[in-house]
């Protein structure tokens, strides 16, 4: 009596599919999506307000310059906000956020001193994004700068 190999191939394929699906389900449960918000309507209204503030800054011709100098496992950043004439934007509140686009858990706000200087630690090698923000009189200018370590 000869046994056919194809039933074992079908059983093995189904078992492999089940194991892979259970593995993905486990990964999804262990690493929940951080982009989900509790109240999407309120988050949408806040997003609309932020867009209007960005449009006001763009219409005013604001510019945001960033220079970064490596310092070991960090970078020293200098931010400069300028108006349409190229003059320093007086009274603007500068802020900086470090973002790891390829890996969660490393995003952080970085304090910026009065001169627009900040030391940004980069705990892991690779690509980082620095989200620089200048805010004044209800207008907000945001720019993303890429930094590699």
User: What SS3 string covers 57-76?
Assistant: HHHHCCEEEEEEEEECCEEE
Q: Residue 34 contacts by C-beta under 8 Å, 6 or more apart in sequence?
A: 104
Q: Specify the 3-state DSSP secondary structure of 22.
A: helix
Of the candidates 146, 132, 120, the one whose C-alpha atom is nearest the C-alpha of residue 57 is 132
Q: For the whole prediction, is pTM greater than 0.85?
A: no
Residue 24 banded pLDDT, cuts 50, 70, 90: very high
The predicted pLDDT at position 11 comes to 94
CATH classification of 40-148, choosing from 2.60.40.1940, 1.10.600.10, 2.40.50.140, 2.30.30.90? 2.60.40.1940
The predicted pLDDT at position 35 comes to 66
Tokens of 24: 């993905």
């Amino acid at each position: 009596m000869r046994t056919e190999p194809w039933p074992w191939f079908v059983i093995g394929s189904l078992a492999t599919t089940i194991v892979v699906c259970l593995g993905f389900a486990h990964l999804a449960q262990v690493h929940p999506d951080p982009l989900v918000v509790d109240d999407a309507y309120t988050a949408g209204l806040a997003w609309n307000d932020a867009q209007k503030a960005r449009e006001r800054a763009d219409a005013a011709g604001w510019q945001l310059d960033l220079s970064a100098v490596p310092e070991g496992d960090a970078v020293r950043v200098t931010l400069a906000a300028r108006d349409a004439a190229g003059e320093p934007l007086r009274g603007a509140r500068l802020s900086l956020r470090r973002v790891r686009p390829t890996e969660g858990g490393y995003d952080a706000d970085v304090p910026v001193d009065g001169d627009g200087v900040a030391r940004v630690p980069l705990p892991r090698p690779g690509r980082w994004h620095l989200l620089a923000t200048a805010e004044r009189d209800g207008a907000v200018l945001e720019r993303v700068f890429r930094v590699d370590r």
